[in-house]
Amino acid sequence: MSVHLKQDRPDTRNVLDKTRQGVIGAPLPRPEGLLKTTGTATYAAEYAAEGCLEGVLVTVPVVRGAVTAIDEEQVRAMPGVVAVLSDKRMTGRPAQGMAGEAPFQPAQEVCYWGQPVALVVAQSFEQARDAAKRLVVECRGEDAPLDPAAVDAEESESTRQGDLAHAMAEAAHSVDITVTTEGHASAAMEPHAALAQWDGERLTVHASLQMLKFNRAELADSLGLEQDQVRLLSPYVGGGFGSKLGVSQEVVAAALAAMQLGRPVRVVMSRQQVFQVVERRSETHQRVRLAADAQGRLTGFGHEARVSNLPGESFAEPVLQSSHLLYAGDNRLLRLEVARIHRMTAGSVRAPGEAVGVQTVEQAMDMLAAKAGIDPVELRLRNLPDKHPENGKAFSSRKLAECLERGAAAFGWEERPRAPRHTREGEWWIGTGMASAARVHSVVEAKARVTLRPGGTALVETDMTDIGTGTYAILGQVAGEMLGLAPADIEVRLGDTELPPGSGSGGSVGAASCGSAVFLACEGLRRKLAERLGINSDDLTLKDGFVRWSGGEKALPELLGNAPLDCVGHFEPGDSTQDLAVSSFGAFFAEVAVNRWTGETRVRRMTGAFGFGRVLNARTARSQCLGGMTWCIGNALTESLLFDPVDGHLANCDLAEYHVPVNRDVPDCEVLLLEERDAAASPIQAKGVGELGLCGGAGAIANAIHDACGARVFAYPMTPDRVLAAMPEG
Ligand code: MOS
């Protein structure tokens, strides 16, 4: 049996508020948590296979050109070496994770520094690595544009409404700033890895991937196989952050080698290769213009950005995504352009778009508040549009005002205006700043099967992944709530393309999409149980393994009997959001200390308040927000990909030189979850939360730096040298 819903209208039944189990939303621990914390969860590189060979990718040191010769003979003679492969199909550009839109592209030529061009396969990893280091690859190198500021750019999107220039000229208060952000690496803890086995007809690959149904299509496509010949397994993923949305070279290379050699082959990228090869977040160059009347009401809003990517890539960091709807302003100019340069593929990295776009708008808003003499929180409240300022659609739900107010109260926000340098502790200036958060919401098609087993336990199955987000926990909670079962009585199986295809984990779509598929499957099961009793399913209460209705009560196992009962839930987005603006919102408050002599900034505390529809698990949702706020600190203070301006190579390709925030950088953070129901967003009334916590918070830190020491810094990350250079005299 299956239940299919293409959601064409809001679901206002509030089913999950009427069920009785009481597990939905509860802060339950992750069922797989113990496996992960004890090191017994198996990751892609850790599987064993009889007779497994080891492959190491070989990369080239030119930004553009072609391979002219590979001296295979020399390394073939080395101990343990089995093969050297230079198949063009495995050396291309990573896919972007949505089938058809941007498949894995085989390389006809070298187009970025560090591009893999060969795979050395040997009996042991050490032999393969040694041979890969000695493999002589001759290339013809060509000059190529490396600097996004030095090339012409092409327009990717633009919105023009009214006359921004006129609004700026007429404004009582205006702000016009230019801000740069540098590239980011996803920096997932688990390196990219794949172990491929070929049995002559079917390929089985253990890999570390976010979007299995799309990834299977991409891999089949690049190998010339039918999709049903390919099985992918990713039950545990040590972080993705965008870098595993699409298949990349290690997966294709392991598969090709296994097919060619008839033996299992494992390929694990080194940490350096992960940095050099997988997708980067583009650097951005942004201009924000705000025009306001004497009361600080926006009359004009401008946001223009330049990003970069390789020639031929369709992705452009969607910097303006939430700028379209966050604030009012009748006269609008939003424009995104892409410069074609030769750095590795730019793609989705941790909240693509808003992660770097909102923080910049929020800096400008802080400056406008200061100019207009209005408290920054009040300025934002005054400028929340009644409806989408460009298309006039109503918001499906928006807790932004409540997030601003409750966040301010929880943080202890002190009203402005006030002059910087009001508080000093020894050599540290202390200041606070705030920012709004916004992230667009979307859902995608997803399927899940739920089986009630004799004995009264349940099994949830989908190829959905858990990339550290809490999928195992929340899908079990949706099922537990709907079926009246304790989480301990529910088993969740994920990350295997043999299971019904879910949404995948990307773009914060997973919880609402797959959660809705599980919800629909459970609605089907509830109807079947009601049919057996000859009652209406509205008259059914499922709790603690018991079935109750107005005429009686039965233990669930008794009603089930000896045969399992299953249902596939199939969720598809429909027109329910067509006439609405659907987005998640929040607010950030940060306190920093800035060293008056060195310009070093320490974040001392942060509060985030977020509204994203129904909370499915208060613990995992909070963790998602904490993770986002941690990345805000990275965005604000430490993270940048540094490319050599002469030869274009990535200079900081490891976790020692690419600085993600670590334990010492991250203070205790407070997270407020504002419960909300969004009936249009998904049948379970949830919106996305995964990336929301990263969308704007770096702006709160930037604004706090100004409040502390008076420095307005217009380049992220705000490293000590930059803060010091912007610090006023005295
Ligand atoms: Mo996310 S950057 O869509 O994994």
Task: Report residue 77 CA to chain centroid gap.
Answer: 44
Statement: residue 218 has pLDDT above 80? yes
CA of 346 to the centre of ligand 1 (A): 12
Tell me the per-residue pLDDT of 231-250, one tens digit each, with 9 for 90 and over. 999 999 999 999 999 999 99
Which strand (E) or helix (H) includes residue 697?
helix 697-709
By most ligand atoms within 8 Å of CB, the mutation choice from 245, 248, 509 for ligand 1 is: 245
CA of 509 to the centre of ligand 1 (A): 9
Statement: residue 90 has pLDDT above 90? no
CB burial string 549-558: b at 16+ within 10 A, e below:
beeeeeebbe
CB 233 within 8 A of CB 219: no
Statement: residue 105 has pLDDT above 80? no
Please give the Cα distance from 46 to 526 (Å, whole number). 40
562 Cβ contact partners less than 8 Å away, ≥ 6 residues apart:
454
Ligand 1 pocket, residue 245 CB under 6 Å: yes
Statement: residue 319 has pLDDT above 80? yes
% of the chain with per-residue pLDDT over 70: 99
Ligand 1 pocket, residue 167 CB under 6 Å: no
Statement: residue 88 has pLDDT above 90? no
Q: Collapsing DSSP states into helix, strand and coil, what is residue 129? A: helix
Please give the Cα distance from 102 to 165 (Å, whole number). 37
Task: Report residue 586 CA to chain centroid gap.
Answer: 17
CATH architecture of 44-62+64-143+187-277: 2-Layer Sandwich (3.30)
Tokens 């700033």 identify what position? 177
User: Token digits for 517?
Assistant: 């598929």
CB 655 within 8 A of CB 582: no
By most ligand atoms within 8 Å of CB, the mutation choice from 208, 348, 469 for ligand 1 is: 348
Q: Is the backbone peptide bond immediately before 717 cis, with ω within 30 degrees of 0?
A: yes
Quick one: pLDDT at residue 102?
A: 61
Quick one: pLDDT at residue 484?
A: 98
Phi-psi region at 475: left, alpha or beta (left = phi > 0; alpha = psi -120 to 50): alpha
Tokens 């604030």 identify what position? 327
By most ligand atoms within 8 Å of CB, the mutation choice from 691, 692, 694, 695 for ligand 1 is: 691
Please give the Cα distance from 597 to 526 (Å, whole number). 66
Cα angle, residue 218 at apex, residues 237 and 252 outer, rounded to 5°: 70
The structure's pTM equals: 0.97
Please give the Cα distance from 367 to 358 (Å, whole number). 14
Phi and psi, residue 174, nearest 5°: -145, 160
Tell me the per-residue pLDDT of 608-655, one tens digit each, with 9 for 90 and over. 999 999 999 999 999 999 999 999 999 999 999 999 999 999 999 999
Reference 240, options 287, 311, 293, 192; nearest CA is: 192
CA of 78 to the centre of ligand 1 (A): 41
Phi-psi region at 46: left, alpha or beta (left = phi > 0; alpha = psi -120 to 50): alpha
Q: In what order do the strands lie in the sheet with 428-440?
A: 424-425, 428-440, 583-595, 601-611, 669-673
Single out the catalytic residue among 32, 72, 591, 691.
691
Torsion, Cα 323 329 333 335, to 10 degrees, reads 0
User: Token digits for 349?
Assistant: 């990295």
Point out which residues pair with 22 in neighbouring strands.
none
529 Cβ contact partners less than 8 Å away, ≥ 6 residues apart:
537, 540, 542, 547, 559, 565
User: Token digits for 117?
Assistant: 């061009």
Question: How big, in percent rounded to 5, are the helix, strand and coil portions of the chain?
Answer: 30, 30, 45
Ligand 1 pocket, residue 627 CB under 6 Å: no
Residue spans in the chain of domains classed CATH 3.30.365.10: 2-30+443-573, 44-62+64-143+187-277, 154-183+281-441+582-726
Domain spanning 2-30+443-573: which CATH class is it, in words? alpha beta
Q: How far is CA 243 from CA 181, 192, 345, 352, 700, in A?
A: 19, 9, 11, 12, 27
Quick one: pLDDT at residue 497?
A: 98
Statement: residue 343 has pLDDT above 70? yes
| pLDDT band for position 308 (cuts 50, 70, 90) | very high
% of the chain with per-residue pLDDT over 90: 96
CATH of region 154-183+281-441+582-726: 3.30.365.10
Going by alpha carbons, the residue nearest to atom 4 of ligand 1 is 242
Q: Collapsing DSSP states into helix, strand and coil, what is residue 499? A: coil
Tell me the per-residue pLDDT of 572-616, one tens digit each, with 9 for 90 and over. 999 999 999 999 999 999 999 999 999 999 999 999 999 999 999
Please give the Cα distance from 599 to 61 (Å, whole number). 36
Phi and psi, residue 288, nearest 5°: -120, 130
Tell me the per-residue pLDDT of 449-501, one tens digit each, with 9 for 90 and over. 999 999 999 999 999 999 999 999 999 999 999 999 999 999 999 999 999 99
Q: Is the backbone peptide bond immediately before 417 cis, with ω within 30 degrees of 0?
A: yes
CA of 167 to the centre of ligand 1 (A): 36
Q: Are strands 424-425 and 184-185 parallel, antiparallel or unpaired?
A: unpaired
- For 422, other C-beta atoms within 10 Å of its C-beta total 12
Please give the Cα distance from 560 to 504 (Å, whole number). 32
Statement: residue 101 has pLDDT above 60? no
| pLDDT band for position 98 (cuts 50, 70, 90) | low
Summary mean pLDDT of the chain: 96
Statement: residue 55 has pLDDT above 60? yes
Statement: residue 324 has pLDDT above 70? yes
User: Token digits for 395?
Assistant: 């918001």
Tokens 């994920």 identify what position? 494
CB 2 within 8 A of CB 570: yes
Arithmetic mean of pLDDT, 208-218: 97
Quick one: pLDDT at residue 103?
A: 67
CB 296 within 8 A of CB 221: no
- Catalytic residue flag (residue 445): no
CA of 246 to the centre of ligand 1 (A): 10
